[in-house]
């Protein structure tokens, strides 16, 4: 048996997650339910769910240790589970995507399947198995469902990819276009990771709120509220153990994609938390590399439900 899969039968949590669970008084409860809800395989409902989706969110880590979040899209069916321990992603390599450098054979990757119209989402992390450029397979290590809170329901549709795209704009800071997208965003995806006993675990998650829920300081630092959730602390536990994150913000109208990676800071006890309605804590992202990819996504998203 895979030793990582055997570990899921005891505790699926690493030290960063446990530290934050302990801080809020949920560690004992999480120790009890973790092995029950975080599985080493795709249950049938998850295996049937992924083929329905027109896109998937990925979290990777490049050779320099920088995490990146990204999206891959395809007609429904481009995701398939040939067996309970693998998920196939039929999506060609995208050299312009900075996350591509972390999709090599043997790399640790996080994945989020999210159906915005129904607010359903499932997550997994695992290892890339790649032997061609047409796509890749993920060997599942952890698979679990997520609660639907803070997801803005909206339809999504796959379109035929354009024949060509503009070259990405790469910088070490936010420009006006990036700031405008952040000011309007009600959804972002965040990739993070931790090293535990010589093994890398990558996660990618959804964050949502009212438009403009991410605050951007004059120096480009992003502050993101963290609301009440399932108390797993997958993302914030990673940031405690490894203070780096990558975020992806899609433009729902144009298919543009903003990707940022940088250093992070947790804000667990500060008067500033109260200035974000409903937030229990905050985290900051100090951008180190910013990539704006025009028309990156062959997707269009409808208006969010009220």
Per-residue pLDDT of 138-162, as tens digits, reads: 999 999 886 656 566 677 777 877 7
How many other CB atoms sit within 10 Å of the CB of residue 263?
A: 15
User: What pLDDT digit, counting tens, does each position of 201-214 carry?
Assistant: 999 999 988 889 99
Q: Are strands 187-196 and 199-208 parallel, antiparallel or unpaired?
A: antiparallel
C-alpha separations of 68 from 99, 124, 171, 219, 280 in Å: 5, 16, 15, 21, 25
pLDDT, mean of residues 127-133: 89
pLDDT, mean of residues 18-24: 93
pLDDT exceeds cutoff 50 at 126 = yes
pLDDT of residue 6: 42
User: What pLDDT digit, counting tens, does each position of 238-257 carry?
Assistant: 999 999 999 999 998 899 99
Backbone angles phi, psi at 242, to 5 degrees: -145, 95
User: What pLDDT digit, counting tens, does each position of 254-281 carry?
Assistant: 999 999 999 999 999 999 999 999 999 9
Q: Which of 29-33, 125-129, 153-157, 294-298 has the highest mean pLDDT?
A: 125-129
pLDDT, mean of residues 5-15: 67
Res. 223 pLDDT band, cuts 50 70 90: very high
pLDDT exceeds cutoff 50 at 1 = no
pLDDT of residue 136: 96
Percent of the chain with pLDDT over 90: 72
From 63-67, 80-84, 164-168, 238-242, the region with the lowest mean pLDDT: 164-168
pLDDT, mean of residues 124-132: 92
CA distance 74 to 84: 22
Average pLDDT, the chain: 90
User: What pLDDT digit, counting tens, does each position of 100-120 carry?
Assistant: 999 999 999 999 999 877 878
pLDDT of residue 2: 45
pLDDT of residue 63: 97
Res. 300 pLDDT band, cuts 50 70 90: confident
User: What pLDDT digit, counting tens, does each position of 175-193 carry?
Assistant: 999 999 999 999 999 999 9
- Cβ atoms of 30 and 36 closer than 8 Å: no
Tokens of 223: 């502050």
CA distance 257 to 264: 21
pLDDT of residue 147: 61
CA distance 197 to 21: 20
Q: Provide DSSP, 185-220.
A: -SEEEEEEEEEETTEEEEEEEEEE-STT-SEE-TTS
pLDDT of residue 198: 83
């Amino acid at each position: 048996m895979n030793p990582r899969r055997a570990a899921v039968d005891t505790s699926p949590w690493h030290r960063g997650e446990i530290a934050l669970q302990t801080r809020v008084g949920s560690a004992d409860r999480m120790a009890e339910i973790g092995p029950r809800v975080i599985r080493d395989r795709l249950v049938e409902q998850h295996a049937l769910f992924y083929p329905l989706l027109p896109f998937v969110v990925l979290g990777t880590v490049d050779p320099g240790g920088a995490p990146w979040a990204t999206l891959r899209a395809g007609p429904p069916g481009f995701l398939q589970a040939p067996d309970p321990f693998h998920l196939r992603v039929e999506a060609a390599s995208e050299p312009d995507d900075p996350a591509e450098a972390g999709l090599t054979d043997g790399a640790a990757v996080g994945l989020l399947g999210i159906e915005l119209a129904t607010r359903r989402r499932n997550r997994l992390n695992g290892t890339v198995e790649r032997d061609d450029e047409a796509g890749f397979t993920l060997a599942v290590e952890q698979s679990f469902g997520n609660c639907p809170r803070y997801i803005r329901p909206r339809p999504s549709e796959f379109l035929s990819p354009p024949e060509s795209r503009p070259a990405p704009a790469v910088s070490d800071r936010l420009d006006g276009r990036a700031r405008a997208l952040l000011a309007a965003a009600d959804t972002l995806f965040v990739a993070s990771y931790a090293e535990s006993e010589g093994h890398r675990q990558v996660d990618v998650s959804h964050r949502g709120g009212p438009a403009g829920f991410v605050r951007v300081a004059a120096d480009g630092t992003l502050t993101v509220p963290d609301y009440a959730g399932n108390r797993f602390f997958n993302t914030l536990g990673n940031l405690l153990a490894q203070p780096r994150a990558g975020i992806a913000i899609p433009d729902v109208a144009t298919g543009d994609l903003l990707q940022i990676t940088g250093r992070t800071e947790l804000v667990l006890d500060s008067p500033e938390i109260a200035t974000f309605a409903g937030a229990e804590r905050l985290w900051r992202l100090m951008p180190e590399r910013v990539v704006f990819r025009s028309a990156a996504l062959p997707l269009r998203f409808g208006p969010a439900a009220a």
